[in-house]
Structure 1
Amino acid sequence: MIKNDLYLRALKGETVERPPVWMMRQAGRYLPEFMAIKEKYDFFTRCRTPELASEITVQPIRRYGMDAAILFSDILVIPQAMNIEVEMRPDVGPWLPHPIRTQKDVENVIVPDVTVELDYVMQAIKATKELLNDEIPLIGFAGSPWTILCYCVQGQGSKNFDKAKEFCFTHPVLAHTLLQKITDTTIAYLKEKVKAGVDAVQVFDSWGGMLSPVDYQEFSWKYINQIIEALKDDAPVIAFGKGCWFALENMTDSNASALGVDWTISPELARKFTGNKITLQGNMDPTRLFSPPSEIKKIVTDMIDSFGKDKYIVNLGHGILPNIPLDNAKAFIDAVKEYEVTGSK
């Protein structure tokens, strides 16, 4: 039994003494202990070495004591397993030397045996579970099929993913073929992650907000929903669509256990759009962590008051930035832990 099950109880919508808290990208680049490992090993070596991935996963837990850990990995391990070359270049980020642009490119993409190609992730989960020793839950994750397609077609990060969108709108059959291959791989991957020991899974739709509401339904949500339907009996599924506030009402009618929201929507509107039927996660602007610690604590307390302490998981609206002061990250976590004492309503 997990000793601190606050996060899992919140996912079930149970009444809690205070909401749980964790931060997207909490295992990583803002921590000096992470940077020490980064200096020795390149990015995908860190992802592929279970001892390194598990150590990185638990570093923020040791320092701050979040209510959940998220496995250190990357959404782009999926295309790598699907026969798509992916590099992580310094000062550039993801780089795909051979973007998917033609029918032949799509045909060359495989649906792999994830138990073989991504076994290193499963080993990292087992190693992490040992380190966590049932203190808190472990979250596994994957990128949404649309977000993965964006990188595969664009070939790198982008402000608008124009090439990815052009591909979808000029070659919709090819786009849907690729999206389905990614979806099938992701379902198999997340199911194996649950078998390996993760307690919940989150689907990151980082680039969903690039699409119009109509195109979002066609090219993103229907594939995310396939994943939710396939996983719903195995583990809680959290769907996070950055910039996708327009789809919250529709997303609420799914079998997701929770929906992540970013800072472009108020807590009150997020509750209104979801009818208070589902657990919400978010939604502080990550750059707000540059505010003084006293102000961060006030923002967090007000955020909890606005969402309500139940059916709520405190988080940022996207990943923590690399240059956030350590004391400010601590103020964010501490504000939630102190909420039951100082600000509970």
Structure 2
Amino acid sequence: MTPLKNDTFLRALLRQPTEYTPVWMMRQAGRYLPEYNQTRARAGDFMGLCTSPDLATEATLQPLARFPLDAAILFSDILTIPDAMGLGLYFSTGEGPKFERPLRQARDILALAVPDPNIELGYVMAAVRQIRQALDNTVPLIGFSGSPFTLACYMVEGGGSPDFSLVKTMLYDRPDLLHHILDVNARAVTAYLNAQIEAGAQAVMIFDSWGGALSEAAYGEFSLAYLQQIMNGLIREHDGAAIPSIVYTKGGGLWLEDIAAIGCNAIGLDWTIDIGKARRRVGDKVALQGNLDPVVLFSKPDTIRAEVGKVLHSYGPGNGHVFNLGHGISQFTQPDHAAAMVEAVHELSRPYHA
């Protein structure tokens, strides 16, 4: 196995010593980059971009050509799994993702099946292999999936939702049906992430974007239990290398200790929690990823640098920190402001690793 030229990100996830704090950005290949918008226009639509390994590779590499990031993340979408289940994913301009056949009837729910990741989702695995080859061992590649509960939100609601009233009503009225969806989703996510690892992903991340919409009891039963199921089934080593895992629950700051106990290597934090307090709560159980407010990147470069410094100071000396935003980068961010953040992280973090 050829060693990585820059494995700082992987070492940080494993809480090993690093020379500086590594940095990447959630949604780092996206609409804030003019070159991405050109690629997307050539693809015709978003799903055309996701399903073309050539274009997905192009999009994945674009932010790395601009910024000295410490990791690449596969360009794809969390809703590829329910699309492969036959729900009919499409994107309406200005409205986000929609499903032609949302899960509303018991018969449709009970008919759900786990897709074969190497067949129905073979285009994703082809992209992973192609991206790994194109990266040429410069930085590691992150694979990812949505969490079972977050996928269920879209599958039941039929798209985004301000209050998740349909899926939460199912949770209270017909928990048996929601548990069935979540179990199928958990098995699908496990197979999907393992296939990405076998295709070349060197770390994996689960986006539990809507777990924070749940009550504490419901989070444990309907989200965390299924994240645990995935952790129990994940490949932990491939080609002689450890494969670290990150779990990100937006709004999950209340439950850090519980998340740390499921067996992931790192917890992704949103911007609503102080990272130093989070570190004290989880101790040496897991690494932490985060957690600059994405809106900071609308500020002047000097302000961005100062806010980066605050996050680094709060985390403090030592290892186990991957710098990131607390949510995906906004499409309205100026690329040079993202560059200012990356530069500040690399420069200001070194004294914390001396």
TM range, normalised to the smaller chain?
over 0.9
Task: For 1:208-287, list aligned pairs within 5 A.
Answer: 208-231=211-234, 233-234=236-237, 235-287=243-295
Quote the offset at 1:17 in angstroms: 1.3
Q: Is the 8 A contact 1:23 1:315 kept in 2?
A: yes
Q: Is the 8 A contact 2:79 2:151 kept in 1?
A: yes
Residue by residue over 1:110-153, the C-alpha shift from the partner in whole angstroms, topping out at 9 and shown as x without a partner, is 21222100110011011101111000000000000000000000
Alpha carbons of 1:63 and 1:102: their partners in 2 closer, same or farther (altered >3 Å)?
same
- Paired with 2:351 and 2:258, the residues of 1 have a C-alpha distance of 36
Alpha carbons of 1:111 and 1:302: their partners in 2 closer, same or farther (altered >3 Å)?
same
Quote the offset at 1:275 in angstroms: 2.3
Residue identity (%)? 43
- Stretches of structure 1 that go unaligned for 5 or more consecutive residues are none
Does 2:345 correspond to 1:300?
A: no
The answer for the alignment partner of 1:318 in structure 2 is 327
SS of the aligned residue for 1:26 comes to coil
The answer for the alignment partner of 2:240 in structure 1 is none
Quote the offset at 1:312 in angstroms: 0.4
Does 2:94 correspond to 1:87?
A: no
Quote the offset at 1:340 in angstroms: 4.6
The answer for the alignment partner of 1:336 in structure 2 is 345
- Stretches of structure 2 that go unaligned for 5 or more consecutive residues are 238-242
Give 2:133's match in structure 1, choosing from 97, 108, 130: 130
Residue 331 of structure 2 aligns to which amino acid in structure 1?
P
Quote the offset at 1:255 in angstroms: 1.3
Moved more, 298-307 or 56-65: 298-307
Q: Is the 8 A contact 1:101 1:167 kept in 2?
A: no
Count of aligned pairs between the two proteins? 345
Q: Is the 8 A contact 1:84 1:109 kept in 2?
A: no
Quote the offset at 1:40 in angstroms: 2.2
Moved more, 81-90 or 204-213: 81-90
Alpha carbons of 1:103 and 1:312: their partners in 2 closer, same or farther (altered >3 Å)?
same
The answer for the alignment partner of 2:61 in structure 1 is 58
- TM-score, normalised to structure 2, is 0.95
Alpha carbons of 1:257 and 1:342: their partners in 2 closer, same or farther (altered >3 Å)?
closer
Alpha carbons of 1:294 and 1:176: their partners in 2 closer, same or farther (altered >3 Å)?
same
SS of the aligned residue for 2:145 comes to strand
Residue by residue over 1:56-107, the C-alpha shift from the partner in whole angstroms, topping out at 9 and shown as x without a partner, is 0010001002000000000000001112111111100011122101211102
Give 2:142's match in structure 1, choosing from 133, 139, 144: 139
- Paired with 1:344 and 1:193, the residues of 2 have a C-alpha distance of 32
Moved more, 103-112 or 310-319: 103-112
SS of the aligned residue for 2:115 comes to coil
Residue by residue over 1:203-262, the C-alpha shift from the partner in whole angstroms, topping out at 9 and shown as x without a partner, is 000001000111000000010111112115242110000001111011112210100011
The answer for the alignment partner of 1:39 in structure 2 is 41
- TM-score, normalised to structure 1, is 0.97
- Paired with 2:27 and 2:75, the residues of 1 have a C-alpha distance of 8
Quote the offset at 1:344 in angstroms: 6.2
Alpha carbons of 1:247 and 1:62: their partners in 2 closer, same or farther (altered >3 Å)?
same
Moved over 4 A (4+): 340-345
- Paired with 1:95 and 1:172, the residues of 2 have a C-alpha distance of 24
Residue 328 of structure 2 aligns to which amino acid in structure 1?
G
Alpha carbons of 1:18 and 1:344: their partners in 2 closer, same or farther (altered >3 Å)?
same
- Paired with 1:186 and 1:58, the residues of 2 have a C-alpha distance of 25
Quote the offset at 1:328 in angstroms: 0.6
Task: For 1:158-169, list aligned pairs within 5 A.
Answer: 158-169=161-172
Q: Is the 8 A contact 1:259 1:280 kept in 2?
A: yes
Residue 54 of structure 1 aligns to which amino acid in structure 2?
T
Does 2:157 correspond to 1:177?
A: no
Moved more, 236-245 or 271-280: 271-280
Quote the offset at 1:7 in angstroms: 0.3
Quote the offset at 1:295 in angstroms: 0.8
Q: Is the 8 A contact 1:129 1:138 kept in 2?
A: yes
The answer for the alignment partner of 1:327 in structure 2 is 336
Moved more, 310-319 or 32-41: 32-41
The answer for the alignment partner of 2:10 in structure 1 is 8
Residue by residue over 1:177-213, the C-alpha shift from the partner in whole angstroms, topping out at 9 and shown as x without a partner, is 1111111111111111000000000000000100011
Quote the offset at 1:342 in angstroms: 6.9
